[in-house]
Amino acid sequence: MMRRGSTTVIRSILTTTTSPRGFSTGADKAVVTWWMRSSGGAARNASTVALGADKEEQRKEETVVNGGGEERKGNDNKEITSYWGVPPSRLTKEDGTEWKWNCFRPWETYQADLSIDLKKHHKPTTWLDKFAYYAVKSLRLPTDIFFQRRYGCRAMMLETVAAVPGMVGGMLLHCKSLRRFEHSGGWIKALLEEAENERMHLMTFMEVAKPKWYERALVFTVQGVFFNAYFLAYLASPKLAHRITGYLEEEAVHSYTEFLKELDKGNIENVKAPAIAIDYWRLPADATLRDVVMVVRADEAHHRDVNHFASDIHYQGRELKDNPAPIGYH
Ligand SMILES: [Fe+2]
Ligand SMILES: [Fe+2]
C-alpha cells in the first residue's frame, strides 16, 4: 500500500468538507490551515495506510491488544487506535491550540446571520394552520408558569424538545426515500442539520444552567410524549407537522428576545460565553452570554423559515423532494 502524499490528503479533505455548512472561501482556507496543522493529518479515509513505517513500529511497541480494539499508551492521554482504520483525528485551531470538541469539527462551525427578520410571522388562515398555531400557543401558558423568568433554565429545557422535530422528520423522509427508491431533494440532510443545530443549543445552555433532578425527570416525560406525538403527526400530515414546528420556532424567537431583555436589564448576569459556543459560532474570545443568545435566536428564526417553507410546499400540493432543501441555511 502506498502512503498518500500530504497534497493528496489535503485535496481529499477539501473535497469532503466544503459542502455541509456552505463554507466561504475564507472558511475553506481556515479548514486547510486546521488540517495542515493537525498532528494526525489522517482524515477519515487515511487510516493506518497513512502511518509511516517508523510510526507503525512505535505503535506496535506502545500498543496493547485489547479484544477487537487496541489501547495505545505512552502519553497522559490514553487513546484507542483502531485496527479498522478509524483513527481519532487531531486538529488544532488557527492560533495553534488544540481543537477540543469531538462532537463537531471546524468545518461544521459558522457565523450566524444576525440580519434575519425576527418579526416574520405566518398568519394562520386555514383550520389546519389555526390548529397548529393554537396548539403551540396553548403550550406557552404552562411553560411561562413553570419557568417564570428563569430564561437560562427555560432555554435549556425547551431545546430538549426543539431538537426532536428535525430528527423525526429527517428519519421519516429517510425511510420514505428508501421505500420509494427516490431522492429526498436534500430535505433529510436539512432536517437532520436542524436537529443537530438544536442539540448544540442544548449543549451550550447546559454550560450556563444546570438542570435539577425534577427537571431531568420532566425532560424524560416530555420527550416520551412529544416524540411519539410528533412522529404520528408527521406520518398523518407533514404539512401540519412542519407548520407546528414553524410556530414553535416563532415562540423560540420570542423567548430568546425576552431572555435578551432580562440580560439588558441586569436581571440575568451577562457571564462569559461558554467555550463550546465561541468555537461553534466563531464568536470572539471575549464573547458573552448575550452574544450567544443573539446567535441562537438567529438560528431559531432560520428554523422558523425552513419549516414554514416546508409546510407551504405541501400546501401547494407539491412534494419536498421536488424543491431543493435549504441545506446549510442559518
Ligand atoms: Fe434552539
Ligand atoms: Fe429552533
Query: What pLDDT shows up at residue 232?
Result: 98
Q: Identify the CA nearest to 214 among candidates 150, 144, 157, 255.
A: 157
- Whether 322 shows a pLDDT value over 70: the answer reads yes
- Whether 70 shows a pLDDT value over 70: the answer reads no
With a pLDDT cut of 70, the percent of the chain lying above it is: 75
Q: Taking all residues of the chain, what is their mean pLDDT, rounded to a whole number?
A: 81
Instruction: Report which bound ligand comes closest to the CA of 251.
Output: 2
Query: What pLDDT shows up at residue 60?
Result: 45
Residue 182: all three cell numbers together: 427516490
pLDDT-wise least confident of 86-90, 161-165, 208-212, 313-317 = 86-90
- Whether 128 shows a pLDDT value over 50: the answer reads yes
- Whether 202 shows a pLDDT value over 50: the answer reads yes
Q: pLDDT tier at 149 (50, 70, 90 boundaries)?
A: confident
pLDDT-wise least confident of 62-66, 256-260, 261-265, 306-310 = 62-66
Q: pLDDT tier at 96 (50, 70, 90 boundaries)?
A: confident
Contact of 239 with 258, CB cutoff 8 Å: no
Q: What is the rounded distance in angstroms from the CA atom of residue 283 to the CA atom of residue 319?
A: 37
Identify which has the larger pLDDT, 324 or 77.
Answer: 324
Query: What pLDDT shows up at residue 92?
Result: 86
What DSSP character marks residue 106? G
- Whether 241 shows a pLDDT value over 90: the answer reads yes
Residue 45 Cα, ligand 2 centroid: separation in angstroms? Answer: 33
* Structural domains for the chain: 6-108 (no CATH), 127-322 (1.20.1260.140)
Query: What pLDDT shows up at residue 64?
Result: 38
Per-residue pLDDT tens over the stretch 205-224: 999 888 888 889 989 999 99
- Whether 28 shows a pLDDT value over 60: the answer reads no
Residue 14 Cα, ligand 2 centroid: separation in angstroms? Answer: 29
Contact of 273 with 287, CB cutoff 8 Å: yes
Residue 178 Cα, ligand 1 centroid: separation in angstroms? Answer: 29
Query: What pLDDT shows up at residue 208?
Result: 86
Q: pLDDT tier at 44 (50, 70, 90 boundaries)?
A: very low
Residue 297 Cα, ligand 1 centroid: separation in angstroms? Answer: 8
Query: What pLDDT shows up at residue 76?
Result: 55
Query: What pLDDT shows up at residue 82?
Result: 74
Query: What pLDDT shows up at residue 141?
Result: 85
Pairing, β 69-72 against β 63-66: antiparallel
- Whether 86 shows a pLDDT value over 90: the answer reads no
Q: What is the rounded distance in angstroms from the CA atom of residue 62 to the CA atom of residue 70?
A: 10
The pTM is what?
A: 0.78
Residue 301 Cα, ligand 2 centroid: separation in angstroms? Answer: 7
Instruction: Report which bound ligand comes closest to the CA of 300.
Output: 2
Which residues, in sequence order, are bridge partners of residue 65?
Answer: 70
Residue 79 Cα, ligand 1 centroid: separation in angstroms? Answer: 33
Query: What pLDDT shows up at residue 41?
Result: 38
Mean pLDDT comparison of 19-28, 87-96, 168-177, highest-scoring range: 168-177
pLDDT-wise least confident of 76-90, 212-226, 250-264, 310-324 = 76-90
Residue 300 Cα, ligand 1 centroid: separation in angstroms? Answer: 6
Query: What pLDDT shows up at residue 210?
Result: 83
Q: Taking residues 137-158, report their average pLDDT.
A: 85
Determine the number of helices (DSSP H) and then strands (DSSP E) in the chain: 10, 3
Query: What pLDDT shows up at residue 316?
Result: 96
- Whether 148 shows a pLDDT value over 60: the answer reads yes
CB atoms within 10 A of CB 141: 9
Q: Taking residues 219-248, report their average pLDDT.
A: 97
Q: Taking residues 196-203, report their average pLDDT.
A: 96
